[in-house]
Structure formats: C-alpha cells, structure tokens
C-alpha cells in the first residue's frame, strides 16, 4: 500500500510538538497509531519503521518526544555523544509531560477524517516502548506494542520515578511485548517483572523473545537483526490486524 507523509504541529502546554504522520494514500478510514521513537527522535531508521507500518493500513503519528528541549526537527545521532544527549533529554522531561503529549496525539488522531476514532493503538521502541506501555493507560488505546521497553520495573523514564509498573491494572486493551534476550537494558528479571504484572492484572498479552540485542529492529546499527526484525513485524502486523479487524 502506498503512503503519504507530512508533518503537523500540535501545541502541548505552549510547547510546539512536531508530529510526523504517515498514512495510506488510498482514501478510507483506518486505525490510528501513536508511534514512539527511541531517544534519538525521528531519524531515518525510525521514520522507515513508521512508514512500513503505515503501508499495512494505519495512520501513524510519531511525535518528537523531546520537543520541550530540542529545536523542531532535531535528530540526535546514535553515537556516544548522542546517547548522552538523548538520555539527558529523557531525564529532564517530566513524566506528566510525556503523558500530556500522549493525550495530544490521541486527540489529534481522533479528529483526523482518515482515522476511525474507536480504533487507536500505540507502538514504541526503547524509551518509546515504555511510553507505549504508559499510553495503554488511556481508555482509547485498544492495542499496545512495546518493543524492548526500558525502565518499566525501575521507574526510569523522566524526572522522578515513573509509576508505570504499579498502574498495569488500568490497561483496557491488549499488549504485545517484544524483547531481545541478549538485551542488557532489560535483563531477564525485568522481563519477568513486566510479564508477571500483566498476568496479575489479567491483562491480555503476548510476549515475543528473540535471541537478539537491544534496538535489534533499528537498521542502521551493528545490533540490527534482520531475521528477528522480520519475525517481529510479522507478529506485530498480525496482532494489530486481529484487534482492529472489526
């Protein structure tokens, strides 16, 4: 399916937030996806992932998660300095601000003529996986895909300690978790803590675990694993299609 690409601006607490929107070119009404990047924001690898998902029939809205700290359009380089910069931006962002951004993107999707307002989901990578997990607390979210989500058991997300692991019972939709078993940022203990929390809250979920490293779906780095990525995408597309079938 061919897609269109555009940038829109949303105001959140008087901060201008750029949102990259990829959508099917064919006229119609589609599910909407709140799409979260990793700490490097909307560089080419993340945009390619957003475009790929849009091609399966989704209106994908990807906000710049550090818009309060970085100039519009900033792409942080995925090197040592960029990692320090991105992690510092993450630490300096209030958790309430992340949540406000989520609400703004959901409201944007609900007003889009190409989006079915009762078919909204979320997908994210790394810190974006954590943000997608938090997005699941919103009533509109029917499906959440969290790819190697960092900081959930520890509460590491922004300023202070995030209460994410303690709010799992608020999730109304279904969850798909994608992990790499070689990922030092989400060790086995953390993976099991997340899974156990979902089970204790009776949240419908599926867990995918690949013998892969952190950010294995990002195609510009040495940790990229094409086989695991292809398998994960197949599962993700099937998961979303099932939930949004009707």
Q: Which residues are catalytic?
A: 126, 183, 214
Element containing residue 35 per DSSP (H, E): strand 30-36
Of 76, 78, 84, 62, residue with least CA distance to 10: 62
| DSSP codes of every residue in 202-223 | T--EEEEEES--TTTT-TTSTT
Q: Judging by DSSP bridges, how do beta strands 3-12 and 15-24 pair with one another?
A: antiparallel
Query: Which residues lie below 8 Å from residue 173, measured CB to CB, with a gap of 6+?
Result: 121, 136, 141, 142, 143, 144, 204, 243
Contacts of 79 (CB under 8 A, 6+ apart): none
DSSP 8-state assignment for residue 153: T
């Amino acid at each position: 399916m061919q897609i269109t690409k555009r940038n829109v601006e949303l105001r959140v607490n008087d901060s201008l937030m750029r949102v990259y929107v990829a959508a099917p070119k064919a006229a119609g009404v589609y599910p909407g996806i709140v799409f979260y990047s990793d700490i490097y924001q909307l560089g080419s690898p993340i945009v390619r992932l957003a475009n790929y998902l849009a091609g399966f029939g989704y209106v994908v809205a990807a906000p710049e998660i550090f818009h309060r700290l970085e100039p519009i359009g900033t792409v942080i380089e995925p090197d040592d300095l960029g990692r320090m910069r991105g992690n510092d931006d993450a630490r300096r962002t209030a958790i309430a601000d992340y949540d406000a951004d989520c609400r703004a993107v959901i409201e944007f999707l609900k007003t889009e003529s190409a989006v079915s307002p009762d078919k909204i989901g979320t997908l994210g990578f790394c810190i974006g996986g954590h943000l997608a997990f938090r997005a699941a607390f919103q009533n509109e979210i029917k499906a959440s895909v969290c790819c190697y989500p960092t900081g959930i058991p520890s509460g590491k997300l922004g300023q202070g300690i995030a209460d994410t692991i303690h709010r799992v019972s608020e999730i109304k939709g279904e969850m798909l978790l994608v992990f790499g078993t070689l990922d030092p940022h989400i060790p086995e203990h953390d993976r099991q803590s997340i899974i156990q929390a979902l089970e204790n809250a009776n949240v419908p979920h599926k867990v995918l675990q690949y013998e892969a490293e952190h950010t294995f779906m990002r195609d510009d780095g040495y940790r990229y694993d094409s086989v695991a990525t292809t398998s994960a995408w197949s599962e993700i597309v099937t998961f979303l299609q099932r939930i949004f079938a009707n």
